[in-house]
Amino acid sequence: MIVTGDKASVTSDIPFASPGSFSGDEGAFAPFGFGVNGDRDGGWLRFPIGASDTSIYPSWNEKENDDDLHNPAKDGPKFVLKNIKTWNPWICLQLLFLILIVLGVLCAGVLYPILLSIRVFDRERPPERLSEFDFGMLEGIRTSMIDPDTPDYAMTRDSVLGRGKLKLVFSDEFEQDGRTFYPGEDQFWTAPRIHYAATNDLEMYDPDFITTKDGVLEIRFQTYRDYDLDFRSGMLQSWNKLCFKGGVMEVSASLAGPAGVAGLWPGIWSLGNLARPGFRASSDGVWPYSYDQCDVGITPNQSSTDGISFLPGQRLAKCVCKNEDHPSPGTGRGAPEIDALEGTINYDMKIGEVTQSSQMAPFDIWYQTNYDYVAIKNHSVTRMNSWQGGPFQQAVSGVTMLNNDWYDGKQYQKYAFEYIPGKADGAIAWFVGDEETLRMTGNAIGPNGNIGQRDISQEPMSIILNLGMSENWAWIDMERLAPRLAQGTVMRIDYVRIYQEEGKELLTCDPPGYPTTEYIAKHPKAYDNANLTQWDETGYPWPKNKFMDQCH
């Protein structure tokens, strides 16, 4: 501060302080009344004095580094052009990324749909070579329907139904250990994961409980909590892979023990391919129909109010209307069942027994088969089954006593049936070992009252091997079974063989006049979803027929 005279001549070196800031008396300056650092010093507000570098506030004509930020265009268009012409690498990189993003959007929205429409991605490409080592991946693939491990003596079998010498057309000896049967793994067999709710089974079927070991197929049943079920087991089926029509199905097995104890339900059986075992929507209206007529037999409950039938009617009737959904219009279709073995026990003698049956629909009055056309070979070991049917199936069935050594792998026994498809000229014969146990002809299920001839199955038949448990089947002696089931019990299958008349082999799921595979492929909801229980749940229409509906 330099004072040269009166107040008007006061000059100041203090930035932003003016002579008019003084009131005249010394100390009247500074309205806040504080000195430097907030102290009063004679009433003067003191500022640090010095060059602009050290001042708190720069003077108006001092230039700072950020001035251009507040006035970027002070040089006008020349300044802007100068900066545009000066390419910054960072700006170039940003522009490059922007171009790439635009190109990516164009490819995703325009180019990719075009490539999809011309199926560029579907073109075949050579397989990628993952290793220089050549693995023997094809060594396990069967190139013949006859297992190379089948012994020479098993290549033929004599017919008991007048068909001469039958030849082997399929076999599986299960000699290769460690086979598994998850869906898609095997050429001939599949082990599905399902709960067989149709018979209120107590176990969950799972492919993990089926394998091959020591030259046999093993199906294990064991205490194993699976969802709300207390047991787990396995079911092996050839559905839609291996089918046969006519001939002999022969299976060698050692049943699961303990022998003579009630509760387990082993099965070796066959079913028309139009029904997939365990998939109830697929069997609704086809199991166990074996009927090629157009009368009350195709109607729900057989049009009877006495409770003889709870069936919904034959879905694939002979007389469906034109253009209705049917695999072979003009032919009654279904899924009959023929059982080589369903295991039970004789409660009095504490020995095993086997029921061997043919199950069909529609039903005779009170399920009474014409027994003039049914014969038992040896009454000392075989008797007619007192159970002849119920509201879901009629059965021609015999019961044969077993040896308790045919369990737990001690010894194996053969269970088989031979059949000739047809109407009155058809026939079935059942076997335990080499001995015939029971025989029936088509006349046993001929016309009766308002029901016509039931056929000896003319459908392609699939094979099922399983080990279950259900109170629907038998009383369960859980006190004696429980310790064994905790460890696990095993049903063993030594082989499966099919014989047919030479020159008349029908080892197919599409025999002439009875196709199945195309129909199955057109109805995936019914055949792939085990949770659906009725055909109506699939969304597919129930075919109309001339007997019940008005055809247009």
What's the confidence (pLDDT) of residue 449?
93
Query: In the prediction, which pLDDT does 26 show?
Result: 42
Query: Which residue from 24, 46, 519, 534 is spatially nearest to 316, judged by alpha carbons?
Result: 519
Hey, how many other C-beta atoms are within 10 angstroms of the C-beta on 15? 17
By CB neighbour count within 10 A (0-12 exposed, 13-18 middle, 19+ buried), where does 45 fall? middle
Beta partners for residue 476, in sequence order: none
> Using one digit for the tens of pLDDT, what is the confidence trace for 526-546?
999 999 999 999 999 999 999
Please tell me which residue, 164 or 114, carries the higher pLDDT value.
164
Position 70 confidence tier, pLDDT thresholds 50, 70, 90: low
- Per-residue pLDDT for 54 more than 90? no
Output the six-digit token pair for 189.
């067999």
Percent of the chain with pLDDT over 70: 80
483: confidence class by pLDDT, cuts 50, 70, 90:
very high
Task: Say if residues 505 and 145 touch (Cβ distance below 8 Å).
Answer: no
360 CB burial (10 A radius; 0-12, 13-18, 19+): buried
3-state secondary structure 231-250: EEECEEECCCCCCECCEEEE
Percent of the chain with pLDDT over 90: 74
Spatial separation of the C-alpha atoms in residues 154 and 434, rounded to whole Å: 13
- Residue 413 pLDDT greater than 90, yes or no: yes
Split at pLDDT 50, 70, 90, the class of 128 is low
Confidence label for 112 from pLDDT (cuts 50, 70 and 90): confident
What local confidence, expressed as pLDDT, does residue 513 receive?
Answer: 98
More confident residue, 543 or 40: 543
Residue reference for tokens 């369903």: 342
Q: Please determine, for residue 374, whether its predicted confidence score (pLDDT) is greater than 90.
A: yes
Burial class from Cβ neighbours inside 10 Å (0-12, 13-18, 19+) for residue 377 reads middle
Using CA atoms in the order 58, 60, 64, 70, what is the torsion angle rounded to 10 degrees? 120
Return mean pLDDT, the chain.
87
Residue with tokens 């075009």: 114
95-109, 161-175, 454-468, 506-520: range with lowest mean pLDDT: 95-109
- Please state which of the ranges 123-137, 247-261, 276-290, 469-483 shows the lowest mean pLDDT: 123-137
Mean pLDDT of the region 373-385: 98
271 within 8 A of 287, measured Cβ to Cβ: yes
Q: What is the per-residue pLDDT for 89?
A: 76
Contact 394, 386 (CB under 8 A): no
Model confidence band, residue 15 (pLDDT cutoffs 50, 70, 90):
very low
pLDDT average, residue stretch 216-242: 98
Asked if the model's pLDDT at residue 154 lies above 80, the reply is yes
Q: How far apart are the first and last CA of the chain?
A: 118
What single letter denotes the amino acid at residue 110?
V
E strand map for 227-336: 229-233, 235-237, 247-254, 264-272
Instruction: Convert the pLDDT of each residue in 179-195 to its tens digit.
Output: 999 999 999 999 999 99
pLDDT greater than 90 at residue 45: no
- Tell me how far apart the alpha carbons of residues 77 and 86 are, in angstroms, rounded to a whole number: 14
pLDDT at 93: 82
pLDDT tens readout for residues 339-351: 999 999 999 999 9
The confidence score (pLDDT) of residue 25 equals 43
Q: What is the pLDDT of residue 19?
A: 41
CA 236, 537, 198: angle at the middle one, nearest 5? 40
113 — pLDDT class (breaks 50, 70, 90): confident
Rounded mean pLDDT of 264-281?
99
3-state secondary structure of 436: strand
Interval 9-13 mean pLDDT: 42
What pTM was estimated for this model as a whole? 0.76
Q: SS in 3 state form for 184-216?
A: CCCCCCECCCEECHHHCCCEEECHHHEEEECCE
- Does residue 33 have a pLDDT over 90? no
- Closest-CA residue to 356 (of 317, 382, 393, 389): 382
DSSP 366-408: GG---GGGEEES-TTTEEE-S--EETTEEEEEEEEE--TTSBT
Rounded-to-integer distance, Cα 400 and Cα 407, Å: 15
The single-letter code of the amino acid at 530 is: A
Output 303-307 pairs: Cβ under 8 A, ≥24 positions apart: 307/391
Q: Using one digit for the tens of pLDDT, what is the confidence trace for 319-337?
A: 999 999 999 999 999 999 9
pLDDT score, position 137: 43
